[in-house]
């Protein structure tokens, strides 16, 4: 973060290193600044986190008052539960299938806009606007586009002589419809991250290349793309962690039924159904924690990789 807007106080600077760490005076009363946030954090994140962990060792249910301690039973059952692995597989497939276009197309969009073409405001608006729509708006619009009889997508396909597709009815297609909708809806975020990174590249680098007579492609592959490596790493990680948490759009698009033949049921929906439809809260908590551990592992791998790339 830059504090470039802060005017330096008008006095002669002592030629000492900038002082870091505690100041001579003050720094008192800090606990009162932190306490309000910490109270809310403890009550609505840390406590539910512990409470859920506790629940996962009981056969807690929404419909019975008392629950028995069952130890690791829930976890044992979970690893033998085919539905856990199936929905996890769907989630991973969605993550791979959505991350690739969400990174590549976002990069292409940002590179195209950064060429300085006219109408910067318009391009940014068009690519980013869908990101601002609530998930329900996005899903209602796409349900209409995907519709079998009156859908724009099938009309376009038949218009160019291709067969119709069962966007919402074909088990082989259902998950890819969610991918399509998600790419359209969320690409704007990655596009803006790339655009910010491109704008941070010092103009002098390009000027130097120009003097050497490097053309557009040379500039792209010699300067721009190598400098974007870190950003790409960040965008990929953010996208993977976001895609793994697929729930809202798949749940609403297929009206809670998990898609044609259950082909688009992400693991979070299985957790939701276990907890809120079957009332098996203990078991739902256990699956939640396995999913949580998976997320942490991915983040740790990412941290390890990024440290290695810096070394």
Partner 1 sequence: MTTAPDTANPATAPVLPRARSRAAEPTDIRRYTPLARAGIITALAVLAVLWLAPLFWAVVTSLKQEADTTVVPLEVVPDRGFTLQAYASVLANGNLVTWFVNSTVVTVVITVLTVALSAAAAYGFSRTRFRGRNVLFALTIAGIMVPPQILIVPLYRQMLAMGLADTYAGIILPQLVLPAMVFILKKFFDGIPRELEEAARVDGAGQLRIFLQIVLPLSRSILAAVSIFVFIHAWNNFLWPFIITSDPGLMTLPVGLVQVQSAFGVRYAQVMASAILAGLPLIVVFMLFQRQIIRGVATTGLGGT
Residue 40 burial (CB count, 10 A): 10
Binder to partner 1 among 67, 81, 86, 302 (CB under 8 A)? 302
By beta-carbon proximity to partner 1, the closer residue of 71 and 120 is: 120
Q: What stretch of H or E contains 284?
A: helix 281-310
Binder to partner 1 among 76, 104, 136, 172 (CB under 8 A)? 136
Binder to partner 1 among 127, 167, 176, 254 (CB under 8 A)? 127
Burial class (CB in 10 A: 0-12, 13-18, 19+), 265: buried
Burial class (CB in 10 A: 0-12, 13-18, 19+), 235: buried
Q: CB under 8 A: which stretch of 69-77, 79-87, 88-96, 271-279 binds partner 1?
A: 271-279
Instruction: Write down the least CB distance from residue 231 to partner 1, Å.
Output: 7
Two structure tokens written together for 286: 């256990």
Q: CB under 8 A: which stretch of 65-73, 76-84, 94-102, 104-112 binds partner 1?
A: 104-112
Q: With contact defined as beta carbons under 8 Å apart, do 218 and 77 qualify?
A: no
The interface mask with partner 1, positions 19-58, x = CB under 8 A, is: x--xxxxxxxxxxxxx-xxx-xx-xxxxxxx-xx--x---
Cα 108 to the center of its chain, rounded Å: 19
By beta-carbon proximity to partner 1, the closer residue of 80 and 310 is: 310
Distance, in Å, from the CA atom of 20 to the CA atom of 30, rounded to the nearest integer, reads 17
Two structure tokens written together for 93: 């497939």
Q: With contact defined as beta carbons under 8 Å apart, do 271 and 287 qualify?
A: yes
User: How many chain residues interact with partner 1 (CB under 8 A)?
Assistant: 122
Which 186-245 residues touch partner 1, going by CB under 8 A? 189, 192-193, 195-203, 206, 216, 230-231, 234, 237-238, 241-242, 245
Binder to partner 1 among 83, 166, 247, 262 (CB under 8 A)? 247
Rg (CA), the chain: 25
Find all residues with CB under 8 Å of 211, minimum gap 6, and list them: none
By beta-carbon proximity to partner 1, the closer residue of 5 and 82 is: 5
Distance, in Å, from the CA atom of 20 to the CA atom of 17, rounded to the nearest integer, reads 9
Instruction: Write down the least CB distance from residue 33 to partner 1, Å.
Output: 3
Residue 103: HSE in the Cβ half-sphere, 13 Å Cα cutoff: 21
Distance, in Å, from the CA atom of 288 to the CA atom of 296, rounded to the nearest integer, reads 12
Instruction: Write down the least CB distance from residue 75 to partner 1, Å.
Output: 15
Binder to partner 1 among 69, 76, 89, 137 (CB under 8 A)? 137
Instruction: Write down the least CB distance from residue 248 to partner 1, Å.
Output: 5
By beta-carbon proximity to partner 1, the closer residue of 56 and 263 is: 56
The interface mask with partner 1, positions 159-178, x = CB under 8 A, is: --------------------
79 is a contact residue toward partner 1 (CB under 8 A): no
By beta-carbon proximity to partner 1, the closer residue of 18 and 163 is: 18
Query: Measured between alpha carbons, how far is residue 65 from residues 226, 277, 307 in Å?
Result: 60, 17, 49
* Helical ranges in 42-81 per DSSP H: 47-55, 73-79
Which 106-125 residues touch partner 1, going by CB under 8 A? 108-109, 112-118, 120-121, 123-125
């Amino acid at each position: 973060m830059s504090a470039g807007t802060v005017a330096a106080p008008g006095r002669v600077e002592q030629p000492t290193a900038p002082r870091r760490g505690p100041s001579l005076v003050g720094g008192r009363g800090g606990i009162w600044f932190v306490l309000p946030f910490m109270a809310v954090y403890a009550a609505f994140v840390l406590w539910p986190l512990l409470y859920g962990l506790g629940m996962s060792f009981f056969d807690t249910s929404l419909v019975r008052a008392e629950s028995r301690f069952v130890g690791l039973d829930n976890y044992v059952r979970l690893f033998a539960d085919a539905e856990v692995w199936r929905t996890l597989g769907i989630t991973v497939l969605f993550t791979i299938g959505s991350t690739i276009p969400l990174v590549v197309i976002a990069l292409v969009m940002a590179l195209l806009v950064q060429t300085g073409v006219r109408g910067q405001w318009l391009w940014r608006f068009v690519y980013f606007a869908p990101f601002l729509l609530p998930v329900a708006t996005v899903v209602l619009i796409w349900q209409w586009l995907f519709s079998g009889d009156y859908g724009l997508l099938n009309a376009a396909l038949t218009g160019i002589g291709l067969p119709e597709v069962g966007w919402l009815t074909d088990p082989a297609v259902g998950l890819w419809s969610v991918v399509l909708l998600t790419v359209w809806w969320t690409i704007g975020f990655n596009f803006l991250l790339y655009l910010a990174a491109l704008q941070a590249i010092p103009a002098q680098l390009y000027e130097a290349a120009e003097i050497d007579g490097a053309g557009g492609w040379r500039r792209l592959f010699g300067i721009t793309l190598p400098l974007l490596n870190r950003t790409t790493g960040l965008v990929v990680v953010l996208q993977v962690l976001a895609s793994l948490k697929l729930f809202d759009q798949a749940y609403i698009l297929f009206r809670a039924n998990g898609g044609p033949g259950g082909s688009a049921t992400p693991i979070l929906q299985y957790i939701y159904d276990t907890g809120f439809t079957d009332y098996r809260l203990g078991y739902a908590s256990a699956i939640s924690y396995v999913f949580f551990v998976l997320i942490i592992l991915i983040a740790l791998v990412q941290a390890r990789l990024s440290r290695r790339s810096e070394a």
